[in-house]
Structure 1
Amino acid sequence: MALSYKVRRRWSLIILLIGLPLYIVVAVTLTDWLRGAWPGMPMMVEFFVFVALGVVWALPLRRVFRGVGQPDPDADAQDR
């Protein structure tokens, strides 16, 4: 099921304003737990954990964000 442009815009706004801050809290909690469980964690492992967490949230949401910054393709030429 393809989402319309307006629905994608609304979902992207909700995701960025509500979902992303919640994901950041979960990611920071996870990394703090990892640091507590493994106090001598090498810096490179920590770096890769942060990079992976920074990319993982965007991969499943790629379809929602694609083309949201562009003009509405379904709008008439007069509306643009």
Structure 2
Amino acid sequence: MALSYKARKRWSLVILLIGLPLYIIVAVTVADWLRRITGGPPMVVELVTFVVLGFLWMLPFRSVFLGVGQPDPEEDDKTR
């Protein structure tokens, strides 16, 4: 079942305002834990890790964010 435009807009706000900060906290905590255990990877490896994690969070939510910045297509049909 596909989400409506308004539902996708609401879910995108929930994901960005609640889910993303929680993901950042978990990612940094796991990275710090690995840094303590392994003695710390080189700075370049750490940078690549955080860049990959920065893009990884949005892959499952691609369908939610798709078209949210566009005008509501259902509202356009109502005005005609």
The two structures share one fold, judged by TM-score above 0.5: yes
Q: Give the corresponding residue for 2:17.
A: 17
Could you state the TM-score of these two structures normalised by the residue count of structure 1?
Answer: 0.89
Quick check: which one's helix share is greater? 2
Q: What is the RMSD computed on CA atoms of the aligned residues?
A: 1.5
Relative to 1, partners in 2 of residues 1:33 and 1:18: Cα closer, same or farther, differing over 3 Å?
A: same
Q: Work out the CA distance in 2 between the residues paired with 1:38 and 1:17.
A: 32
Count of residue correspondences: 79
Find the residue that maps to 2:73 and give its secondary structure.
coil
Q: Work out the CA distance in 1 between the residues paired with 2:30 and 2:74.
A: 42
What runs of 5+ residues in structure 1 fail to find an aligned partner?
A: none
Q: Give the corresponding residue for 2:50.
A: 50
Q: Which consecutive segments of 4 or more residues in structure 1 shift more than 2 A?
A: 76-79
Find the residue that maps to 1:68 and give its secondary structure.
coil
What runs of 5+ residues in structure 2 fail to find an aligned partner?
A: none
